[in-house]
Structure 1
């Protein structure tokens, strides 16, 4: 008998961008997020099953503060996804091949500790910080 994995509700996140065309290129073409509804000043993307919306708001873009986490200066304002290790590795290779400059290079954080995870941080063209992470054991997502 198999245990069903609970279906989690998708989250919704709206964030500012400098340019809608750049957002379409980065989120749609590079990250492979299918586009949903749009208007001249905003566009929806399917970000790993979640709804993110890029809003044209140049005065709001970019990350401004960092916080120390396991020796890294992590952008306080960031969002991202938790992938399988294989998906994380493929995404890291895709981003490297595209010439994306990482603000925190792909590596393993909390090595040998509860919550050990693969992580990487990079910026979109508007300076919004994204983190893509993975766990070898997804049950350690909230491990203490």
Structure 2
């Protein structure tokens, strides 16, 4: 399957902290930038952080129950290869990352079994990273 890169622009109320988070925690390469925004190569996709006053969802997260966990809404992220996901989870744990939902395998033994983890950036944007051992399960019902 060939995928086109997506473009996602998100608000951040502390541009220097968000820039350090995406650049240092995830090791994302920077692209173009200005005093108000920064482009990142987000695992082959274009993520742009834009300086903006705090949004209501960044103050207090809304959630939906999924597999016994309160999943923050809205959130965004990327589906990684299984080994890449495990490596990222290990790196984040070693950094003492505070997770919204600790890395675990969701829907174990069911259709759509996947590894997942949720965390917040310094501005309250929720991120999810997931992986499937069987990528054909990505949209399975």
TM-score (norm 2): 0.94
| Cα distance between partner residues in 2 of 1:29 and 1:101 | 16
1:116 equivalent among 113, 116, 119: 113
How do 1:45-84 and structure 2 match up within 5 A?
A: 45-60=40-55, 62=58, 64-84=61-81
Deviation at 1:76, TM superposition (A): 1.3
Aligned to 2:21: 26
Unaligned runs of 5+ in 1: 1-5
| Cα distance between partner residues in 2 of 1:120 and 1:39 | 31
| Cα distance between partner residues in 2 of 1:82 and 1:128 | 17
Q: State whether structure 2 residue 102 is matched by structure 1 residue 105.
A: yes
| Cα distance between partner residues in 2 of 1:58 and 1:137 | 40
Q: State whether structure 2 residue 124 is matched by structure 1 residue 141.
A: no
Deviation at 1:96, TM superposition (A): 0.8
Aligned to 2:9: 14
CA deviation vs aligned residue, 1:81-115 (integer Å, no higher than 9, x gap)? 10111111110111111111001000010111110
Deviation at 1:64, TM superposition (A): 2.4
- Count of residues paired in the alignment: 139
| Cα distance between partner residues in 2 of 1:36 and 1:58 | 23
Deviation at 1:7, TM superposition (A): 2.1
| Cα distance between partner residues in 1 of 2:54 and 2:75 | 17
1:91 equivalent among 68, 88, 92: 88
TM-score (norm 1): 0.93
**4+ runs of 1 displaced by more than 3 Å?**
none
CA deviation vs aligned residue, 1:46-78 (integer Å, no higher than 9, x gap)? 100100110101322616210011111001100
Secondary structure of 2:90's match? helix
| Cα distance between partner residues in 1 of 2:115 and 2:54 | 32
